[in-house]
Amino acid sequence: MAKYLKIIPFILTIGLVVVIQIAFIKGLPSWLQYLNAVLVIMVFIIGLQSLSKALKWAAGFGLVLDVFSFSLFGIFTVSLLATTILTWFVLVNFLTNRSLYSFLAATIFATFCFEVLSNIMLYFYRIFFSLENFVGFDRYFISVKIYGLIINLAVAIVVFYFLTILSKRYKPVFLNKEENI
């Protein structure tokens, strides 16, 4: 019974974040609507939890986003799972953990991976089913993605500083100061 009680907050959190993403953030004016809160939250889950927990969150977010999407079912799930694995690999092998620049670099990398993967899958989906609306890589498309990256970075900074207030384990420094003996 206790095992099932642990799943309830997980499902409620995923549902709440996805509802906020779809209903609230997409209705914001101007470039604020390009925030991908799910992706920013996933970057922090990847950085602060284990890979297996991050994959569970990515699968949960992806499945719920796919339910509300009008495109091919599975695009968000596959994109989030692949982005989670790639971002975890970059965080573990190339970046130091729990510093501001690491989370910002991971946010840039995750945003880029997610956008590339989801748009490539969407492109091939539209070609395969002979749909007229192809994904256009024009000036508007690129500017929207840059706005999304900027707002994702801004929210990542706010979330990081919020975490530094809650816990002293996360430091907003670029280099650790070590005393030489």
User: Residue 135, class by beta-carbon neighbours within 10 Å (0-12 exposed, 13-18 middle, 19+ buried)?
Assistant: middle
Higher-scoring residue by pLDDT: 98, 16: 16
Beta bridge mates, 171: 99
Is the C-alpha dihedral spanning 48, 161, 28, 119 positive or negative? negative
Please report which confidence band the pLDDT of residue 181 belongs to, taking 50, 70 and 90 as the band edges.
very low
Q: What is the pLDDT of residue 170?
A: 59
Higher-scoring residue by pLDDT: 169, 25: 25
Using the predicted structure, report yes or no on whether residue 180 has a pLDDT greater than 50: no
Average pLDDT value for residue range 42-62: 93
Higher-scoring residue by pLDDT: 180, 144: 144
Q: What is the pLDDT of residue 150?
A: 94
pLDDT tens digits, 133-146: 655 666 777 888 89
pTM of the model: 0.84
Side chain identity, residue 84: T
Using the predicted structure, report yes or no on whether residue 88 has a pLDDT greater than 90: yes
The SS3 of residue 130 is coil
Q: What is the pLDDT of residue 44?
A: 92
| CA distance to 58, 92, 103, 164, 173, per residue, from 177 (Å) | 34, 21, 19, 18, 9
Average pLDDT value for residue range 58-70: 91
Q: What is the pLDDT of residue 30?
A: 81
Mean pLDDT of the chain: 85
Fold of 2-166: Arp2/3 complex 21 kDa subunit ARPC3 (1.10.1760)
